[in-house]
Amino acid sequence: MADRPQSLFDKLWANHVVRAESADTPAILYIDLHLVHEVTSPQGFDVLRQRDLPVRRPDRTLATLDHSTPTTPPGPDGERHYFTPQAKAQVETLERNCAEFGIRLEGWGSDYRGVVHVMGPELGATQPGMTVVCGDSHTSTHGAFGALAFGIGTTEVGYVLATQCLPQRKPKSMRVVVDGQLGPGVAAKDMALHIIRTIGVNGGTGYAIEYAGEAIRALDMEGRMTVCNMTIEAGARAGMVAPDATTIEYLRGRELAPRGGDFERAAEGWLALAGDDGATFDREVIIDAADIAPTLTWGTDPGMSVRLGEAVPEGDTPGRRRALDYMGVTGGQPLDGHGVDVVFVGSCTNGRLSDLRAAAEILRGQRVAVGTRMLVVPGSESVKRAAEAEGLDRVFTDAGAEWREPGCSMCLAMNGDLVPAGKTAVSTSNRNFEGRQGTGARTMLASPATAAACAIAGRVVDPRGEAAREVA
């Protein structure tokens, strides 16, 4: 037993140390779950072949196809329309690698294929108390389950495939407490953008963040995943929420979760992971949920955001001037009324069923504005089936939006779902860097409800206001 109160992060770290770190060497952590996709894994498998090594724990490795996959259905000839020959080669390479090394792949034809950070939790592969890694920065999503989850580089992918371990320095700890209750029409995405704005895009550098407080506890698992997903955008190594009854009920009955008595015993252990009373943190940030409102980014990093109705900062620094110029936004004025060319609802941040419901609720009986294109991309095959069972797909298509096949899509535009140069997109994804959604594309990050309201109006509007119901 520890000789001092431990936080959730302390417990997760201690439970996975194979070799303690020293002044000269990092700790060696055991990895419970390694998620793999087609873009960052080929080099890792090549290393295994070069050294004649097997995958150390294929039963702890789970793969999917998401980044480079087309979101249009196959043609009459059954062929999928890949954006580039390289994209097709990435997919086919992962299919061969998984077959050769005995790894489960949620590929074409799987009922579970989807964005890696959507399908892992859906399957119940992500569980409290785990260490989870993936060659993707938004692996922090899985921290919503009380797991220590973080992205790794391509070299590290090979290391984990070969050893099921990873060298790591222990980050410092930060607790972000969001007290109170979110107001009507305010979503987890607004909370995430508010937190990043509060601590800064580099404010989390060197830390693992534990989220706590009444407003965090009130989120469902999909909302918690949205908040943890965006943790990396504040520069933090990982984000996490202590497991509770909401976590347990989400996991109950999922394919890869324990069953029967094993589940009840596991749940008892999961609940014990919550931080001890008196646990300390290197930094603590307190946020009042009442200060959070529907939020939109105006600049070129996720920390450059404003509440709708609030004036965008003046260009008083070189960085802000560049961002204002790139985005075509005027400093000192609100974003409200700014023209919107494209709306994207999807991604590992906001491509789950609750996100699609929130967008559909705004769009029902409305039309996407003339001159505005709206793309809705479910995060997985499971999300797509559930949405279609509820008729959400018809809400979107009746409104004039495009209903696509699951994948990362326009979040990073690797599959050809691009925002044209100079056009403004309101996007439920996670990054608004220059060119993220296409060369010269201008990205404003927002919640699904805000994105849908902007699609109807063809301009930036508050989803809570009457303007959201206007037809442009």
Binding-site residue numbers for [4Fe-4S] cluster are: 348, 408, 411
Neighbouring residues of 225: CB distance < 8 A, sequence distance ≥ 6: 117, 121, 141, 142, 144, 352
On the 0-12 / 13-18 / 19+ scale of CB atoms within 10 A, 354 is: middle
Amino acid identity for residue 213 in this structure:
G
Rounded Cα distance between 149 and 137, Å, is 10
Q: For residues 348 and 379, is the Cβ–Cβ distance under 8 A?
A: yes
Rounded Cα distance between 227 and 191, Å, is 7
Rounded Cα distance between 70 and 408, Å, is 9
Neighbouring residues of 1: CB distance < 8 A, sequence distance ≥ 6: none
Rounded Cα distance between 79 and 66, Å, is 17
Bridge partners for 426 per DSSP: 343, 444
- 438: which 2 tokens? 């296409």
Query: What one-character-per-residue DSSP string does 262-298 give?
Result: HHHHHHHHHHTTSPPTT---SEEEEEEGGG---EEE-
Neighbouring residues of 48: CB distance < 8 A, sequence distance ≥ 6: 54, 55, 101, 158, 161, 162
The binding site comprises 348, 408, 411
Neighbouring residues of 436: CB distance < 8 A, sequence distance ≥ 6: 412, 413, 429, 443
- Ramachandran bin of 11, using left for φ above 0, alpha for ψ from -120 to 50, beta for the remaining angles: alpha
The conformation of residue 314, written as its DSSP 8-state character, comes to: P
- 78: which 2 tokens? 């059954």
The three-class DSSP label of residue 210 is strand
The three-class DSSP label of residue 134 is strand
